Amino acid sequence: MNPYQVAHQFGLKTLEKPDEHTGSRVSMKIGLPRERSKDERRIAVTPGGVSVLKANGHDVCIENDAGEDARFSDHDFSEAGATVLRSTEELYKHSEIILKVAPPDETEYEFLQHDQVIISALHLGNTTELYLKELIRKNVTAIGFEFIKAPDNSFPIVRMMHEITGSMSVQIAAHYLENNQDGQGIILGGISGVPPATVVILGAGIIAEYAARTALGYGAQVFVMDNDLAQLRHLENSLDRRIITAMATHQYISSALKVADVVIGAAMVEGHRAPCWVSSTMVESMKAGSVIVDAVIDQGGCIETSHPTTHSDPVFVHNDVIHYCVPNIPANAARSATTALNNLLVPFLLDIGDAGGIRESLWTNVSLRNGTYVYKNQLTKKSLAQLFDMPYRDIEMLIASRI
């Protein structure tokens, strides 16, 4: 098998760490359960990632068919050194760390073990008080993808998924503009003598950047709106001023939506619910057959008329406007998204093992500490405490007090 075939089959392998024995390293038991969330097709680690974890002394077990939708077979994982289990309950019982894409659903609560570690997305738009209380009750340490912050203040896992989401959102919108999807029957880029479609992007973050790049690649006319002037200026410069920018005021948004063929909802604040920028009245003013892709619906959405949909039933029509509001857009590019997750998550797992376990790692790894939202029977994120009117303790205080 040549190098290209290896990379194609297993994804790019995370570089193995040198075998440095610090005296604190521990061997961990890592579990990869099958995703139960509707239409979630990703898995957090590739077979290549499993081989790296095994080479560093960790045990990995995976539920059967967990990687099937991402086109990784049980055989691929077993060849890499993982133990394939048929029971979800058995996997939870034998794992110290549960690594998932979506958070555990209610059917999995009974499988959660006391003092276990859960690393997954949190999906703020769907988080429940019951889930948080169950984690607290069982003294689970929970780390959310949305909160893991790098030393440069970026959110690496969120960024990677947002790059995919931004690119795919424009592809999706182009599809639903077609006649057989009850769209306007236009193409994004136009042709000679026919003007291009107008794409309005709300927000100027990573989703917006990659949506704008893709829309420009199609040849569309692109408007980007945000209330952060510095971000708009940065995006203008990085895209060679090929976009039109405006502050996200009621007046500008209302005017833009009246001429928009596509609206990409990408307004969000990291670690918080997305702000609602578009009212139902604004949606009523849009052209019949235009398309809204609310790309931050997993954070609550930034368009009033949005509500979550699924990959199997992705759209609904409101006021003759097509709404695509699937929370996990990258799941439809499951293999690419899985490889991206693997490349970011495996180094964190290696760090936890090298530090001597999750408690020791939280002392030294600021990114993981930022990502933790439940620790030692306490909610540790103020934003979640405010959302659910629950008490919280700052994780820095919990760690400093050795609780």
Q: Looking at residue 20, what is its pLDDT?
A: 43
CB 20 within 8 A of CB 41: no
What is the band of 170 on the pLDDT scale with cuts at 50, 70, 90? very high
Q: Which among 271, 297, 326 is the end of a domain?
A: 326
What is the identity of the amino acid at 196?
P
pLDDT at 19: 42
Residue where one domain finishes, among candidates 326, 349, 380: 326
Which one is predicted more confidently, 80 or 2?
80
Domain end marker among 326, 341, 365:
326
Model pLDDT for residues 230-241, shown as the tens digit of each residue? 999 999 999 999
> Is 303 found in the same domain as 189?
yes
Asked if residue 126 and residue 66 are part of one domain, the reply reads: yes
Check residue 399 and give its pLDDT. 86
Q: Is 298 a catalytic residue?
A: yes
Report pLDDT digits (tens) over 12-67: 444 444 444 444 789 999 999 999 987 899 999 999 999 999 999 999 999 999 99
What is the arithmetic mean of pLDDT over 323-350?
A: 95
115 a catalytic residue: no
**What count of other Cβ atoms lies within 10 Å of the Cβ of residue 195?**
10
Is the same domain home to 274 and 364?
Answer: no
- 9 shares a domain with 137: yes
Same domain membership, residue 142 and residue 202? no
Provide the pLDDT for residue 403: 53
Residue 317 and residue 343 share a domain:
no
Q: Where are the alpha helices (DSSP H) in 121-241?
A: 129-137, 156-176, 206-218, 229-238
- What is the pLDDT averaged over residues 179-188? 95
Whether pLDDT at 95 is above 50: yes
Does one domain contain both 194 and 132? no
pLDDT at 1: 52
CATH number for the domain spanning 254: value is 3.40.50.720
* Residues of the chain above pLDDT 70, percent: 93
Q: Cα separation of 77 and 48, whole Å?
A: 8
pLDDT in tens, 287-301: 999 999 999 998 889
Cβ proximity of 33 and 108 under 8 Å: yes
263 in the same domain as 175: yes
Beta bridge partners of 372: 143
For the segment 255-268, the average pLDDT, to the nearest whole number, is 96
Is 145 found in the same domain as 254? no
Mean of pLDDT values over 323-337:
94
Catalytic residue, candidates 123, 226, 261, 354: 123
pLDDT at 14: 44
2-16, 23-37, 77-91: least confident range:
2-16
Dihedral sign (CA 159, 160, 161, 164):
positive
The answer, yes or no, to whether residue 3 has pLDDT greater than 50, is no
Tokens 């042709």, residue? Answer: 191
Residues 233 and 319 in one domain: yes
Residues 270 and 393 in one domain: no
Cα 157–chain centre separation: 7
169 and 267 both lie in a single domain: yes
Range(s) of the domain holding residue 176: 162-326
Write out the DSSP string of 49-86: HHHHHHHTT-EEEEETTTTGGGT--HHHHHHTTPEEES
Pairing of β 198-202 and β 221-226: parallel
- When the pLDDT of each residue in the chain is averaged and rounded to a whole number, the result is 91
Minimal CA–CA distance to 77: which of 36, 40, 31? Answer: 31
More confident residue, 2 or 248: 248
Give the active site residue among 294, 298, 323, 354: 298
Look at the chain and report how many structural domains it folds into.
2
